[in-house]
Amino acid sequence: MLKATDCHFLVSTSHELMQYGTFCNKTYPKPSLISGMGHIKIKDIRVQGNLVLILSKDGMVYAWGSDKNGLLGIKKSSYQPKPHPNSTLIDYTITQITLSESRAGAMDSQGRVFSWGGSVSVPTLAKLRFKASKIVTFGNKLLALCESEKVMGVIEPDNSVHYVKEVTDVWTTETRAVLKVS
């Protein structure tokens, strides 16, 4: 179960998404299937404030809620009342998503990384020198790890990238990024 402000999100054993509580000024007094998501099987869900980012089992990314940081991934929109597929990522099979207060990211099956948030309101391909194996957000940065080459790309808000060598894994908390180095 994940909590967004005053709303709880649950994924059923059949991978359907349900919510209860208050989300974006609407109250759900008991667990209810989310409209428009009944046919979609959930692989991952990320929640930040009143924003929800979903990864389906077939590799599609959906977003909805209220956001002022460009994290919906929809150009010129700060509110989406229902789950909306991200049209920029529709041609890619996304395998991982990540979300923070000011940054969102997605990685596809080929190790390509997409980043958005802030002044970049739609997913944009990061210009990495490697195929990523893991992504995490840390504040307004997106961290992309390539375990086989022991390198991590730090993707800045303007989508520029710098690299940290000898990194074999990375974890984040609200206030820290922890790197495992070789």
For residue 9, the model assigns a pLDDT of: 72
What digits encode the pLDDT tens for the residues 40-60? Answer: 788 888 888 888 899 999 999
What digits encode the pLDDT tens for the residues 18-43? Answer: 777 777 777 878 887 777 776 778 88
For residue 7, the model assigns a pLDDT of: 65
For residue 162, the model assigns a pLDDT of: 94
Asked if residue 61 has pLDDT above 80, the reply is yes
Mean pLDDT of 63-67: 83
Whole-model pTM: value is 0.85
Contacting residues for 153 by C-beta, under 8 A, at least 6 apart:
113, 126, 128, 129, 130, 132, 143, 144, 145, 146, 161, 162, 163
Tell me the two tokens of residue 21: 């509580």
Structural domains of the chain in order of their starting residue, each with its CATH number: 2-181 (2.130.10.30)
For residue 76, the model assigns a pLDDT of: 63
